[in-house]
Structure formats: structure tokens, C-alpha cells
Chains A and B, each alone.
Chain A
Amino acid sequence: MIEFRDVGVSYPADDEGAGATLALHGADLVIPEGELTLVVGPTGSGKSTLLRCINGLVPHFSGGTLHGRVLVDGRDTRTHRPRDLADVVGFVMQDPVASFVTDTVEEELAYGMESLGVDASAMRRRVEETLDLLGLADVRRRQLRDLSGGQQQRVAIGAVLASGPRILVLDEPTSALDPVAAEEVLASLHRLVHDLGLTVVLAEHRLERVIHHADNVVLLESGRGERSVSGLLAPAEAMLTSPIYPPVIGLGRALGWTPLPLSVRDARRRAVVLRERLGAPEEAPAVDRTGAEPVVAVSGLAVRRGTVPALRDVDLDVAPGEIVALMGRNGAGKSTLLAALVGQVAREHGSVRVGTLDPARAKPAHIVRQVGLVPQDPSLILYASSVAEECAAADTDFGLEPGTSARVLERILPGVEPTRHPHDLSEGQRLSVALALILASDPRVVLLDEPTRGLDYGAKRRLVSLLQELSAGGHAVMLATHDVELAAEVASRVVVLADGDVVADGPVRQVLSGSPAFAPQVAKILHPVRLLTVDEVVDAAGAAS
């Protein structure tokens, strides 16, 4: 269906000093019809380039040189522009909102067909079919920006699907979604492959969500200057050598299971013996925090967003050195709580104390010395045109000695070129820069809102060790996250919010392993054994034998 014949992509040197770059090299594979193919690789390995070659966006839209040939359903992308392939390939972007041309669901679904000149009655029929197929009939007249993230992504898929392509290409469709929304989207994709026989090519960071849906895997690797694209591999085979992998694979690889189980269900079957051997491990002694003076004290906090109560009577104390994960559905009040801690939302009643001050009354310049928040989209607080300028601005903002921010950045992200533009950095690097700026004023409390959106496993590992370092240095850390694996790895305590209430608050092991929704993969595999991460299992297994 899709044929790559020795494909490479290169860009010429530009006038900003960047040399000629090679974005893809040696892709030689045939993607079969009616299967779901997963493209796996670290950030910057050329996943997007590979996907964009399929409908000719590379090189027609991006510029640059395409070496070799890409054939899609017999059409050569050298002679077919993306618009000429619109009826064969549907291309879905990572951020659905950025891909919307119109503003209501129905109009968006029809837009592609209008530009292809599909006649009115056929168009009407296909819009209805697409609405049903993706479960969007209830929201057909709604404004796109009022929809939830999962619905928006399904509209984006429907918008390309309505034109009737046989191939669907998706660039990280669930990276920005919470687990529930991601599940909606993946269920839809699964149905498209199985019921309609569509060919789906998909790139995704969050492998734990998709690996068990995949029929084939293409591995991309980028070493120093070297790039390679594997051929078509079976998922289990690919995961043996893949540089990035989800915890279930990590466990299998660490314990030498063959064939490698890809899903929690398969892994549980393999783990029967292991579970018996591990037995019930002794509870880790609870950290004694009674002596420490809490650095965050929230009591009876209530906040309204418009007419809707966003937080009701929340009580929470956080001691120095704690890492607290705030979890819960979208709209449960996680971000609102963080915003209240930096004085960004007006509270209805209750009191908040962070460090020595009340953030609702203090000046921002004083707040930043006590508490720093890295927003969900770190680029919101970046505005200078280079990393060095950004650091210098932070020094003047916080009244610090020149060079302080740059030193902090050097510590958490060694080797980043100071002349780079913040927007040219990868998501992980951008997060590090934003974090460095926030840390420069040495706040006692560090807050992070969804820090792992769009991070690959490598970047996530770096974040984990950084947070642990902060906690060891006596900082209190709070992170709002959907990422249970991150919480399992790094948090000492988990607070679950639902509908503005605190519904669970306790040590990480107790809260996560007991919950069906928030249990990490390892805990699900080993239930009732209360272990959360691969490392813990390896240690425990070593001790048990």
C-alpha cells in the first residue's frame, strides 16, 4: 500500500548558520494494507518526517530534497502534491485544534470534501456516516473549541476520514490527551482498522497505550550523526531492541521473558510464578513528617470558576522534601489548586499559606521567591529570542546576580547552546529551560502542571532524577499529572482529586496500587503484590531468590 524505496530527506543549509541537515536516511520498506503500523523512535529521530513523506508534505510543503521514491497506492509523491493525495491519505496532526479550518463539527467534517468537490448529497451522507463511526452525532452542531480533547481529536480524524481515504497517518494523536480521552481515540482507531480495513500508520510516545494494538513496528534510531530506519518488525521482536519501551516491556526485558508480553494481560499470565515468589513484601516504613513544619498549608480552600465550583473545602499540608502527585480526571481541580498556590485564582473562602506568605495577597515578585510554577505549556513563560537572553531576563526579573539562571540551566540541562531559540528546542529541553528559570530564584516549593506531555521516555527519566534531586535538597514538589508511571516513579505521596474534593491522600504505594484507574502497569501485573516500578521488582526478585 505504501512503499518507501531507499528514501532519505535532507535540507540545505540555511542563512541562520545551521548546516545542511539529514532528517531521514535509508528508509526502505513496504507497509501492508489493512494493518496498524507503529513508528517508534526517540524525539528527533525523524518520525514526523517519515510520516509526512507518506502524503508528500515532505518535500512539497516543507522544502528540501527527497531522495529515493515514495509510492502510495501506486501514486508517486514526486508527481503528486499532498492535495492530490487527499483522497488516498488522511493526515492527522498532533494538535487537533491547530488543524481546524472551520468552527463547528459538521462544517469541519465537510471542509475536506468541499475542497475535493464531492457532490452535495454524497457529502451529506458521508458526514452522517463519519459522525456515527466516530461517535460524534451528539455534538454535531457544537463549536469545536467547546469540545473535550478526545472529541476534538476524533473530529480531526473524522475530518480527514470523511473524504474516504484508505490510509490514515497520525502523528502522536494521543500525546496531549489524558488517559480517558486517549482511550476514546484509540478505540476509534482500532475500529477503523478492524471493521473498515483501513491502513493506519501511527507515531506515538506513549507506547503503553498503543503497543498492543500494533500489527507492525518500524524502529527509528538516531545515534551520533547516524540515522537508521528498520524494516517492518513484529511488535514483540521490535520491543526487544527498542531504545524506548513502556514499563510492561521493561519488566519483560529485565526478567528475560520470551516471547515478550506486550499487554498487561499477557504479562499477568507470565507473572504467576513471580507473584507467588515475591509474596507480600513488607510495607515500607512511612516517612515521618510530623516534625517538619509544612511549607504549604491549605485549609478549607474553595474556588469557583464562573458558576462552577472548582475546589470545595480542600485541606492539604506539604512538608519540605515531599514530592506530591496530584491526580484525577480533567476538570477535577488539579490545575486550579496549583493556580491557587501561586495566587492566580481568587478564592471563595479558606486560607492558603506557601512558605511565609499568602499568595493571594503578596506581590508576584515576592511569590516567586517562595513558590514557582511551570505551566502546562512551558512556552507560555518564554518570550526572549535565545536561551541566553531568557536567562539574563530571569536574572533581572528576580533581582539575582547575573549568571545565576544560566548556572542552574547548565546543571539541569548541560550542553544546551545558549544561542538557540527557545521555540527550536525539543519539548523536553523547553521544559528544562522553563524549570531552570523558575528554579533560579530558589523557591521552596516547585509546582509542575502536566510536565510529561509530549516527553519521550528519555526526557521523562531526566525529569524524574531532577525532581528527586530537588526533593533531596529540601524543596517541596507538587505535580499535577495524568501519568501514573511518572507518579509511581517519583512521587512520595499521591493526592487524588475528584470534582473539586480530595478523595484520596496517602503514600504513593497505598493509593496507586489499590486503585484500578491509577495503578501503574507493573502494579497491575503484580497485583496484589504492592510493587510499582520495574526497578523495585528487579530488586525484590533479586532479594527473593
Chain B
Amino acid sequence: MTPSWRTPAVLALALVIGVAAFTWPFFVTSGAQLNQLGHENDASLVFVVIMALLVLLLLAELTSGGADAKTVAVLGVLAAAGGALRVLSAGTAGLEPMFFLLVVAGRALGATKGFLLGVLALLASAFLTAGVGPWTPFQMIACGWVCLGAGLLPPLRGAAERWLLAGYGFLIGLGYGMVMNLWFWPFLGGSAPDGAGFVPDAGVTTNLGHYAAFYVTTSLAWDLPRGVLTAVLVFFASGSLLRALRRSVRRARFGAPVEFVEAGYT
């Protein structure tokens, strides 16, 4: 049997690695081994490999209790809903409706199942849109965090929960873009515009400044509306959807006790 501390421990380690994989450009110190890897792109490739393996490991670990057919089917269907939303909204700005679903479903499923859902939903959407690439593992982990966070928020109910989730929706709408730009930002290397590119030996403050310039000029215009839209969707729609999802999860009777009695019912 899986000891109860193992899953949180693995998730915590994964969090550290994930954060490092996204934000290493700010932490790398001058003269570190990573900067000596040679070609500037190779540092990014190292992290692509690490993230891909991390995703597989997390999927294996979180289902290693032998996820039963119900869990697999429910996760599969919710992931399909997420993927379908991404396909449907591919013409527009992109991820808002999917984030809305992930926040609400992550909330209903709880942290661990939620994390799995985020990862699987993004993977399914990548398959559906035939958009698999080195960015996929980064997106999967980031989406997993989105759901994990929704599951870990304080257990409020009613209107307070709506405000809480809407605020969270706004933050992740903004934050997702901020984090996802990071994985390829160093990849742009010195060829990015002056003052907005990654400079390997320049230290934290310069690089943070450069990244801020890069972010504000390139993706803020997309991320801000995304954050607002996610928040608005969550605020108006989370109440009844959350009720419906919670009911469905209850009805699924995960791990319902099974009993056998020799004698007939009297």
C-alpha cells in the first residue's frame, strides 16, 4: 500500500523541480555549470527532458494505487471536456473556457485527483489539436498546478467560495501566461531584443527586469483579458456547475464500502 505521506512528498518535490525548470534563468549564477553547457539552447533542452520525465513519473506515481475504472473514466471524461473546450475555443483567444472548467473541476475533485485532471486535460487537448511539442510537458505541469491550487484553497462555501475562485481564476489567467513564457524565453537567447532577452551571466535583477520588459511587451495584452475572462466565467458560472460536479462525484461512490452477508435479507 502507498504510505499516505508519499503522494504529498512527491508532489512537493515535483513542485520544486517544476519551479526550478520554469524560473532557472533568474537563479542561475554567473559561472554555473549550466552556463557552460555550450550552446545557449542546450540549457532549455535539458529542462525539456527533465519536465517530460517528471510528468510521466507523476502520472505513474499518482495512479500507482491502481486507479480503479471509475477514477479513470471520470478523469477521462472531464479531461475530454477540457480538451473539447480548448478545441472549440481555438479560434478565439485560447484557454479561458478550459481554465474555467479546470478551476471548478479541480475544486470539486480535490488536490490529488485535480492535479491528475489538469495534466490529463492538457495532454488530451494537445492530442486533439495535434499540438504536441516540447512545450507540452511544461503546459501539463502548469495546468496540473492550476487544478491542484483550486483543490487546496481554503474550504469556503457559497458566495465566499465564488469570490475566492473568481480571484484565483484571475490570478492563474495572468500567472499561467507569465510562467509559460518563461520556458522558451531563455531559448530566445541573445537574439531577443536588447533589454528584453535572457543574459546568462547578468544576475537576478537584470534578468527579472528583462523578463518584465519581455512579458509586458509580448503577452500582457493577451493574459490580462484571459485573467479577467476566467474570473468572470468562474464568478457567474461556478456555483451551479460546482454543485452539479460535486453531486456527480458523490454519486460515483468512489471507494464505497462493499459487504457480503451469507444470510438472506430479512
Q: Could you tell me the distance between the alpha carbons of A383 and B247 in the complex, rounded to whole angstroms?
A: 13
Closest CB of chain B to A443's CB: distance in Å? 26
Closest B residue to A63 using CB positions? B256
Closest A residue to B261 using CB positions? A67
Structural contact, A385 and B243, CB atoms closer than 8 A: yes
Q: Could you tell me the distance between the alpha carbons of A10 and B264 in the complex, rounded to whole angstroms?
A: 11
A65, CB-defined interface residue at 8 Å? yes
Structural contact, B261 and A63, CB atoms closer than 8 A: no
Structural contact, A65 and B260, CB atoms closer than 8 A: yes
Structural contact, A69 and B257, CB atoms closer than 8 A: no
Q: Which residues of A contact B70 (CB under 8 A)?
A: 61
B56, CB-defined interface residue at 8 Å? no
> Which residues of A, 254-291, contact B by the 8 Å Cβ criterion?
none
Q: Could you tell me the distance between the alpha carbons of A123 and B240 in the complex, rounded to whole angstroms?
A: 46
Q: Which residues of B contact A25 (CB under 8 A)?
A: 265
Closest A residue to B248 using CB positions? A423
Q: Which residues of A contact B247 (CB under 8 A)?
A: 385, 421
Structural contact, B244 and A67, CB atoms closer than 8 A: no
> Which residues of A, 1-40, contact B by the 8 Å Cβ criterion?
6-10, 12, 14, 16, 22, 25-26
Q: Could you tell me the distance between the alpha carbons of A383 and B258 in the complex, rounded to whole angstroms?
A: 32
Q: 0/1 per residue, B119-161, Cβ < 8 Å to A?
A: 0000000000000000000000000000000000000000000
Give the contacting residue for A68; candidates B250, B258, B264; CB below 8 A. Answer: B264
Q: Which residues of B contact A26 (CB under 8 A)?
A: 264-265
> Which residues of A, 48-79, contact B by the 8 Å Cβ criterion?
59-69, 78
B262, CB-defined interface residue at 8 Å? yes
Structural contact, B257 and A78, CB atoms closer than 8 A: no
Closest B residue to A65 using CB positions? B259
Give the contacting residue for B259; candidates A7, A64, A421; CB below 8 A. Answer: A64
Structural contact, A62 and B244, CB atoms closer than 8 A: no
Which residue, of B244, B262, B265, has the highest number of chain A Cβ atoms within 10 A?
B265
Structural contact, A383 and B264, CB atoms closer than 8 A: no
A384, CB-defined interface residue at 8 Å? yes
Closest CB of chain A to B66's CB: distance in Å? 11
Q: Could you tell me the distance between the alpha carbons of A63 and B257 in the complex, rounded to whole angstroms?
A: 5
Q: Which residues of B contact A61 (CB under 8 A)?
A: 69-70
Number of interface residues of B (CB under 8 A): 18
> Which residues of B, 228-264, contact A by the 8 Å Cβ criterion?
240, 243-244, 247, 250, 253, 256-264
Q: Could you tell me the distance between the alpha carbons of A544 and B259 in the complex, rounded to whole angstroms?
A: 61
Q: Could you tell me the distance between the alpha carbons of A385 and B264 in the complex, rounded to whole angstroms?
A: 37
Q: Could you tell me the distance between the alpha carbons of A65 and B258 in the complex, rounded to whole angstroms?
A: 6
Structural contact, A67 and B250, CB atoms closer than 8 A: no
Structural contact, A66 and B240, CB atoms closer than 8 A: no
Q: Which residues of A contact B264 (CB under 8 A)?
A: 6-8, 26, 67-68
Q: Which residues of A contact B253 (CB under 8 A)?
A: 62-63
Closest A residue to B68 using CB positions? A61
Q: Could you tell me the distance between the alpha carbons of A59 and B255 in the complex, rounded to whole angstroms?
A: 11
Q: Could you tell me the distance between the alpha carbons of A62 and B70 in the complex, rounded to whole angstroms?
A: 10
Q: Could you tell me the distance between the alpha carbons of A78 and B259 in the complex, rounded to whole angstroms?
A: 9
Structural contact, A22 and B265, CB atoms closer than 8 A: yes
Structural contact, B260 and A66, CB atoms closer than 8 A: yes
Q: Could you tell me the distance between the alpha carbons of A6 and B253 in the complex, rounded to whole angstroms?
A: 26
Q: Which residues of A contact B259 (CB under 8 A)?
A: 59, 64-66
Closest B residue to A16 using CB positions? B250
Give the contacting residue for B240; candidates A12, A22, A384; CB below 8 A. Answer: A384
Structural contact, B263 and A68, CB atoms closer than 8 A: yes
Closest B residue to A66 using CB positions? B260
Q: Could you tell me the distance between the alpha carbons of A67 and B260 in the complex, rounded to whole angstroms?
A: 6
Q: Could you tell me the distance between the alpha carbons of A536 and B265 in the complex, rounded to whole angstroms?
A: 45
Q: Which residues of B contact A383 (CB under 8 A)?
A: 240
Q: Could you tell me the distance between the alpha carbons of A35 and B170 in the complex, rounded to whole angstroms?
A: 62
Q: Could you tell me the distance between the alpha carbons of A22 and B261 in the complex, rounded to whole angstroms?
A: 14
Q: Could you tell me the distance between the alpha carbons of A12 and B257 in the complex, rounded to whole angstroms?
A: 9
Structural contact, A385 and B262, CB atoms closer than 8 A: no
Q: Could you tell me the distance between the alpha carbons of A150 and B102 in the complex, rounded to whole angstroms?
A: 36
Closest A residue to B256 using CB positions? A63
Closest CB of chain A to B139's CB: distance in Å? 24
Closest B residue to A5 using CB positions? B264
Closest CB of chain A to B261's CB: distance in Å? 5
Structural contact, A60 and B244, CB atoms closer than 8 A: no
Closest CB of chain B to A97's CB: distance in Å? 13
Q: Could you tell me the distance between the alpha carbons of A383 and B245 in the complex, rounded to whole angstroms?
A: 12
Structural contact, A59 and B258, CB atoms closer than 8 A: yes
Closest CB of chain B to A140's CB: distance in Å? 24
Q: Could you tell me the distance between the alpha carbons of A384 and B239 in the complex, rounded to whole angstroms?
A: 11
Closest A residue to B260 using CB positions? A78
Q: Which residues of B contact A62 (CB under 8 A)?
A: 253, 256
Give the contacting residue for B263; candidates A9, A16, A67, A78; CB below 8 A. Answer: A67
Which residue, of B258, B259, B263, has the highest number of chain A Cβ atoms within 10 A?
B258
Q: Which residues of B contact A7 (CB under 8 A)?
A: 264
Q: Could you tell me the distance between the alpha carbons of A66 and B259 in the complex, rounded to whole angstroms?
A: 6
Closest CB of chain B to A272's CB: distance in Å? 49
Closest A residue to B264 using CB positions? A6
Closest B residue to A423 using CB positions? B247
Closest A residue to B76 using CB positions? A101
Interface residue ranges, A against B (CB under 8 Å) = 6-10, 12, 14, 16, 22, 25-26, 59-69, 78, 383-385, 421
Nearest 6 A-B pairs (CB), nearest first?
Answer: A63-B256, A8-B265, A6-B264, A65-B259, A67-B265, A67-B261
Q: List 5 A-B contacts (CB under 8 A).
A: A7-B264, A59-B258, A68-B264, A385-B243, A385-B247
User: Other than the known A61-B69, A63-B256, what 7 A-B pairs have Cβ atoms closer than 8 Å?
Assistant: A7-B264, A59-B258, A63-B253, A66-B260, A67-B263, A68-B265, A384-B240
